[in-house]
Structure 1
Amino acid sequence: MTNLFSVFDPSSSVMNLSLNWLSTFLGILLLPTIYWLMPSRYSLIWSKITSTLHQEFNTLLGPTGHPGSTFLFISLFSMIVFNNFLGLFPYIFTSSSHLTFTLALALPLWMSFMLYGWINHTQHMFAHLVPQGTPPVLMPFMVCIETISNIIRPGTLAVRLAANMIAGHLLMTLLGNTGPSLSLTILSFLIIGQIALLVLESAVAIIQSYVFAVLSTLYSSEVN
């Protein structure tokens, strides 16, 4: 390892083609069971999750939201949660811990919302730059602050997901590397700690994908 983060670098390749990013599509292997004629417990749980998300995203979008737009955010949630979970398995590359993956999701979404808003609801978008009840003296400053906060949105979305995924994995890697040099008593505590961290990472995998989808929904509801 040249540095702490080198364990997250794509390394597997065949004929100079990186195979690590293929882990992004491993989640597709879990999908066909949903389409079996006899519903399994797994498919029933997944349909319950998606219907709950559909209702919640509908509430966030409000009456002005376009019908069917919730499916976009449910698909986004599904893709990120599959990738986050697959990254917890040994020898599977965590694509969601790289900014190339997270920015590729956040930037097009934000850009499309902005273009749609400024083209179709220009006056509404200008009104968003100055919050209601702002004193006239502070208006130029508020416009600057709101513009900057709007521009950094895709960056914050991408960095939040990547940083949260890489932090837990890095901690587990660092603790795991100390294992061979420890005594049996301390090693047993380390294994318990690693299991607790793995449970925490599983929770983070779900929470971060949910946060990403919810914030994308909120950003889209602002432009309607």
Structure 2
Amino acid sequence: MMANLFSSFDPSTNFNLSMNWMSTMLMFFFIPSIYWLIPSRWNFLWILIINTLHKEFKILLKENSHKGSSLIFISLFSLILFNNFLGLFPYIFTSTSHLTLTLTLSLPLWLTFMVYNMIFNYINLLAHLAPQGAPQILLPFLVMIETISNIIRPGTLAIRLSANMIAGHLLITLLSNSGSSINIPMLSILITVQILLLILETAVSIIQAYVFSILMTLYSSEN
């Protein structure tokens, strides 16, 4: 029995299993490979998604960026998308609803960008702290605000993703728990609402994966 509603999102107490995080690896079974699978519609659809993302990320990245840089963010999008989507199925642990995973994705990449900027492009880093044309009297405050906004970037990325995943799952769980105590007409309405919420959560899963990867691409383009 759950001690509270949030215990269903706790990997240490959920069904008393220690293998919940293995659901993160399930995504590798859903990615088609052109080397040993006959090309199918699913294969062509995934290639179309990758090419579309590559074109968008290439526009955001600078022209002098390293070749293949967009593949990092495409892989990031794929990992988050599949884990978000798999979390909608019953009895599959949603790893992207935890800061353990989301911070693991955002913090190392952000640190890499910042260290690279400090070593090879520190003038550009300092220039971003003081916007051009700002009044002299406001410069100390602007530098402090820009510094804080830079520091909290990985945290905001991680919290945005995990909070959106938890919010939708909590709403579906709350509505599901009330299904056994209502009459048939209300139950039919509840099922309809649940189906609509699942469709909404599917859209949120795709949008949040795209937002996470696109923001990380923008942070990279500043370097």
**TM-score for both structures, normalised by structure 1:** 0.95
Counterpart in the other structure of 2:132: 132
Give the fraction of aligned pairs with identical amino acids, expressed as a percent. Answer: 62
- Taking the aligned partners of 1:205 and 1:49, their CA distance within structure 2 comes to 15
Q: Residue 161 of structure 1: SS of its match in structure 2?
A: helix
- Report Cα offsets for 1:57-105 as digits up to 9, x if no partner: 0000021322110000000000000000000000000000001010000
**Runs ≥4 in structure 1, deviation > 6 angstroms?**
none
**Amino acid in structure 2 at the alignment position of 1:9:** D
- Taking the aligned partners of 1:70 and 1:13, their CA distance within structure 2 comes to 39
Deviation at 1:6, TM superposition (A): 1.1
Deviation at 1:188, TM superposition (A): 0.2
Deviation at 1:36, TM superposition (A): 3.5
1:59 aligns with 2:59: yes
- Report Cα offsets for 1:100-134 as digits up to 9, x if no partner: 01000010010000000111001111001011111
- Report Cα offsets for 1:153-210 as digits up to 9, x if no partner: 0000000000000000000000000000000000000000000000000000000000
Deviation at 1:32, TM superposition (A): 4.1
Counterpart in the other structure of 1:7: 8
Contact 1:13–1:20 (Cα < 8 Å) also in 2 = no
- Taking the aligned partners of 2:16 and 2:103, their CA distance within structure 1 comes to 23
Counterpart in the other structure of 1:185: 185
**Amino acid in structure 2 at the alignment position of 1:4:** L
- Taking the aligned partners of 1:33 and 1:221, their CA distance within structure 2 comes to 30
Gaps of 5+ in 2: none
- Taking the aligned partners of 2:50 and 2:71, their CA distance within structure 1 comes to 9
**Amino acid in structure 2 at the alignment position of 1:77:** F
Counterpart in the other structure of 1:115: 115
Contact 2:103–2:154 (Cα < 8 Å) also in 1 = yes
Deviation at 1:21, TM superposition (A): 0.1
**Structure 1 stretch displaced more, 31-40 or 69-78:** 31-40
Deviation at 1:217, TM superposition (A): 0.2
Deviation at 1:53, TM superposition (A): 0.2
Contact 1:13–1:19 (Cα < 8 Å) also in 2 = no
- Taking the aligned partners of 1:7 and 1:204, their CA distance within structure 2 comes to 20
- Taking the aligned partners of 2:127 and 2:64, their CA distance within structure 1 comes to 17
Q: What are the within-5 Å matches in structure 2 for residues 26-105 of structure 1?
A: 26-36=26-36, 38-105=38-105
**Amino acid in structure 1 at the alignment position of 2:73:** F
Deviation at 1:221, TM superposition (A): 0.4
Contact 1:12–1:20 (Cα < 8 Å) also in 2 = no
Contact 2:32–2:43 (Cα < 8 Å) also in 1 = no
**Amino acid in structure 2 at the alignment position of 1:202:** T
**Amino acid in structure 1 at the alignment position of 2:65:** G
Counterpart in the other structure of 1:23: 23
**Amino acid in structure 1 at the alignment position of 2:188:** S
RMSD (Å), alpha carbons: 1.1
Deviation at 1:12, TM superposition (A): 4.5
